[in-house]
Amino acid sequence: MKSQQQYPQKISLEFFPPRTPEGMEKLKTVIQDFGQFSPDYMSVTYGAGGTTQEKTLDTVRYIQSETAYNAAPHLTCIGATHESVLALLDTYQAIGVKRIVALRGDLPSGMMDPGEFKYASDLVAFIRQERGDAFHLEVAAYPETHPQARNCEVGIKWFKHKVEQGADSAITQYFFNLDSYLQFVDNCEKHGIDLPIVPGIMPITNYENLIRFSQGCGAEVPRWLKCRLESFEDDKESLLAFGQEVVQTLAQKLLDAGSPGLHFYSMNQTQPTLDIVKSLTFKN
């Protein structure tokens, strides 16, 4: 963890683009509520294959023009063409976006054409080639290894390659096992990978959703945690209280170990993330 301790500890937040006007109104309130923590930036997810392109853009526009915060659009390249990415970059530059979360994404079912980019590293290289340093580029990292990587060493090899194409920092997939992050960062250090690797934090608010989500993205919900959450059955209040205690403890341990801040998967909800952030002590 030595290399990570040189970076300041910052908070960033992730939202998904609301599908309805009501959802957008709710998100505006959520964004206001987070103002007290001066988040470094607010990222907005993007449906792979461009499926949320307009809604992502609307949300990014709102953050850039109507709030005091910096928006960081996610950009998935699977199914995209060089031309479509350049058009999106033009739009983002025109509205003052300075940071992009550059991803591969997963081809949506039914979509056959993978487009002109194969991996996130191709997108990072392309943005650097076309736009120089106009954007701070975030990439994804997987402390528990990406589900498609043959093993963790292969995962690290391709992660290093992606970083070398011009990534500035990384955000991890969420995890509940502190050691997975500490081991990953140490392994990155051994491979000469030198950039801030910010842990992604998922507040626990719903058992079924958490299990479904985790199966989809390859994040492990440890057996002890699963058992405890399962035992709350319909007692949502106790589940929330327990979930908060678990995630708060994890987040504090990460900060104490010197992680460069935390990136919260807010799920467009204020309270779970806010309650965790309020309880934390930062080193700097």
Q: Return residues touching ligand FAD (CB under 6 A).
A: 45-48, 74, 76, 101, 103-106, 119-121, 140, 146, 148-149, 155, 158, 162, 171, 173, 200
Determine the 3-state secondary structure of 60 from DSSP. Answer: helix
Distance CA 233, CA 51 (A): 35
Distance CA 130, CA 16 (A): 27
Residue (56 or 248) nearer to ligand FAD, CB: 56
14 beta partners:
43, 265
Start-to-end CA distance of the chain, whole Å, equals 16
Report which of 42, 14, 1, 15 is spatially closest to residue 255, judged by C-alpha positions.
1
136-175 burial, b at 16+ Cβ within 10 Å, e below that, comes to bbbbbbbbbbbeebeebeebbeebeebbebbbbbbbbbbb
Residue (197 or 239) nearer to ligand FAD, CB: 197
Residue (140 or 240) nearer to ligand FAD, CB: 140
Residue (218 or 258) nearer to ligand FAD, CB: 218
**Length in residues, the chain:** 284
Which of the residues 14, 83, 116, 233 is marked catalytic? Answer: 14
Q: How far is the CB of 99 from ligand FAD (least distance, A)?
A: 13
Determine the 3-state secondary structure of 77 from DSSP. Answer: coil
Q: Is 14 a catalytic residue?
A: yes
Residue (212 or 278) nearer to ligand FAD, CB: 212
Among the residues of the chain, which ranges form H helices? 21-33, 53-66, 82-94, 120-131, 152-164, 178-190, 207-217, 223-231, 236-256, 271-279
Q: How far is the CB of 231 from ligand FAD (least distance, A)?
A: 29
Q: How far is the CB of 103 from ligand FAD (least distance, A)?
A: 4
Q: How far is the CB of 241 from ligand FAD (least distance, A)?
A: 27
Q: How far is the CB of 170 from ligand FAD (least distance, A)?
A: 8
Structure-token pair, residue 59 = 């949300």
Active site amino acids: 14
